[in-house]
Amino acid sequence: GNQKATHSENSQGKKSQHAEEAIFYMNCRAAYLTVLKSSLENIKSKEQLSLVLQQAGRNPSQKTINKYWTSQTTSLNFDDFCAILKKEKPATKNELLEAFGKIDTDKAGYISHDELCKILTTRGDKMTWEEVTSITKQADFNCSGKLDYNKFCELYLTTSEQCCKAARDRLEIDPRLRQQHFGNQTENFPEGITLPVSKPSPRVSRKTDHKLAKGDCTAPSRPSSAQSSKASTSTTVTVGASSSRNTKLIIEPDTMKEWQGAQSKGCFYLEENGEIISHKYRLHLPQRSAVCITIKPFNIPQAEGKSCHWLSVDTALFILKENETQENLQLVSFTELQNKELFGWRGELGSGLYWLLPFTTGCRLRKVKTQISGEAKLVWRDEDGELALTKEFRAALLDIFETIDLDGNGLLSLEEYNFFELRTSGEKCDQEAWAVCKENFEMKKNELTRQGFLDLNLMEANDRDGDPWDLWVTLLSLGYNKALEMTEACPFVIDICAERCKPRIKAISLEAGGSQLSRAVCRSVVNKGEAKVLDGSENIFIYTYRSGSRITSVIENKSENKVIIHVNNEQSKNCLNNRGLMVFAVEVAPKSMMVSQHVMALNEQEEWIYSCVHSLV
């Protein structure tokens, strides 16, 4: 018993240590990328070193800078910077108070401005009179010609933490930094440790000012030079033209015609920061049964004949078994079989609750700059001066209705409508507001009809006297551009058939996949893929797995230290990946795994070659 307890304590201690290291390196990365464009770029001067240290919450003296930047130093890399931060701990409040206490011999808690000025301009890193004056002028900690150094220390530490937080926030928000440099989705952070991860950006309330222009989200240029490598491994996969879409999923109508089914629609939405969110589902099976689960892009009936960008987007479903807690979901399988745009899985599932997590690689659902000749018109006034929806906007609204009508019954329930509201305004409609809708717009069985949905949007235009601003907020948040093309969303449909029972599927949330999906993707590649050890490094493994039309690689770091892996795709042909870069670097925390990249064919009608070299930097 004592041995078990000791083992458990040791295990928890190691997990805590790994989590602390992961947070430490995330803070290092955030500070570094505030000053430099890439984590593969070197610090080239004392001034840059001082700046990055300040961004990491340190306040280095010239003596400290000179300790690490000697007459022989020409540059310092990211690893050097991390090593410096490990040695140079940020000052604590006690240390600061102790330093001031040596000056304040009377222990009054104050230092006169004259005395402070004399010390700061004559000792150590001498400050100028102007610099000292800027301190003594601050009303927060100065009074009657004296400095309250206790308040000063509090403000100093708060400002230092705010500086670090601003650097972390910038790293999370800026899609360029997130894409180019390092991944942050590790496989096994300890339970109870929550790392700062990016959240879906809240949709802008219709009542607030909103900048409609889309940001420039093109990926930055790749690092100019390959890094010197301690260890590396290469993987090459050649895929014939259109072979990735061969029929592999065979569903015999005769064997399944007696099976019971359930269906739900949903949608992937592309966020401003490049993140993808989607509906998540819970599946209930009353008893053990053979099951077939499929997912594919939804071909909206109204959109036939139009350019449907989303139909080429890859889709997948990960099936997870629910145990005692939602946090502890077990991967059962995923939809690895493919028939054209349809992905599916067949097998036997026991009775109980399952989670279905939709997934797309982001190779084809991504920010793309397109030239739009002009903004579509949404409303017009008839000869009587009454507002009306244009034909083009009505068609777009009917397409939206088809997408958000999750159960496909031609009506919107309050639950379905609230997914739409959360996405477009960040708010939910309660029962009282729904009753008001019922009084003003056409409903059947307490559900909103297509005409009611059109009228609701017309009312919104009338509320703003024809100003289409609110309507554009809705359209942009649903993935439409100013030409009324859906370019930043991908509606899909999920079908479930069970042999021995009636399956039930319910949309539970609309959010990013998060750690559960990241773990599921990593685990599926590790379980099914080809494993290669990084030559010269026995603790780093590269797993490569081809599932239908995509190839995914996962890096596993079994060592006690974080590693930086350089990824080079320059020998690949006719490929595109989710990062939008041929060469990039990823950081993998100790005892963890993460997706290196997802790769697909640029043109499926031609042969494509995935040729990738992973190297330890």
Which residue, 460, 534, 546, 572, is CA-closest to 246? 546
Name all contacts of 606-609 with Cβ < 8 Å and 24+ positions apart. Answer: 606/241, 606/574, 607/238, 607/239, 607/240, 607/241, 607/573, 607/574, 608/238, 608/239, 608/572, 608/573, 608/574, 608/575, 609/236, 609/237, 609/238, 609/239, 609/571, 609/572, 609/573, 609/574, 609/575
Task: Give the count of beta carbons closer than 10 Å to the beta carbon of residue 246.
Answer: 12
Q: What is the DSSP string of 545-588?
A: EEETTEEEEEEEE-SSS-EEEEEE-TT-BSEEETT--SEEEEEE
The verdict on domain 93-173 having CATH code 3.40.50.970 is: no
Residue 43: strand pairing partners: 76
C-alpha span between 559 and 230 (Å, rounded): 15
Q: What pLDDT is recorded for position 218?
A: 32
Residue 358: exposure state from Cβ atoms within 10 A (0-12, 13-18, ≥19) = buried
- Domain 368-487: CATH superfamily is EF-hand (1.10.238.10)
Which residues of the chain fall short of a pLDDT of 70? 1-19, 124-125, 139-142, 172-230, 242-254, 302-307, 324-327
C-alpha span between 136 and 113 (Å, rounded): 7
Residue owning tokens 């190297």: 615
Measuring CA to CA, how many Å separate 179 from each of 379, 577, 585? Answer: 38, 11, 10
Which residue, 120, 127, 64, is CA-closest to 90? 64
Which residue, 542, 579, 535, 536, is CA-closest to 557? 542
Contact criterion met (CB below 8 Å) for 299 and 199: no
Q: What is the pLDDT of residues 103-139, one digit of tens each?
A: 887 888 888 888 878 777 777 667 777 777 777 777 5
Q: What pLDDT is recorded for position 124?
A: 65
Contact criterion met (CB below 8 Å) for 363 and 179: no
Q: What pLDDT is recorded for position 361?
A: 94
Q: What pLDDT is recorded for position 226?
A: 38
> Which token pair is 76?
């310092």
Q: Which CATH architecture has domain 232-243+528-616?
A: Sandwich (2.60)
Q: What pLDDT is recorded for position 97?
A: 85
C-alpha span between 614 and 617 (Å, rounded): 9
C-alpha span between 250 and 344 (Å, rounded): 9
Name all contacts of 391-394 with Cβ < 8 Å and 24+ positions apart. Answer: 392/484, 393/471, 393/484, 394/454
Q: Coil, strand, or helix at residue 68?
A: helix
The CA-based dihedral angle spanning residues 161, 54, 194, 13, taken in that order and rounded to the nearest 10 degrees: -110
Phi, psi of 546 (to 5 degrees): -100, 120
Measuring CA to CA, how many Å separate 55 from each of 19, 66, 86, 124, 220? Answer: 22, 18, 15, 22, 23
Q: What is the DSSP string of 363-425?
A: SSSS------SSPPP-EEE-TTS-EEE-HHHHHHHHHHHHHH-TT-SSSB-HHHHHHHHHHHT
Distance of CA 594 to the CA centre of its chain: 13
Look at the alpha carbons of 176, 179, 185, 186 in this order and tell me if their dihedral is positive or negative: negative
Strands 550-557 and 592-601: antiparallel
Look at the alpha carbons of 14, 20, 21, 23 in this order and tell me if their dihedral is positive or negative: positive
Q: What pLDDT is recorded for position 69?
A: 92
Helices (H), 486-559: 514-528
Q: What pLDDT is recorded for position 222?
A: 35
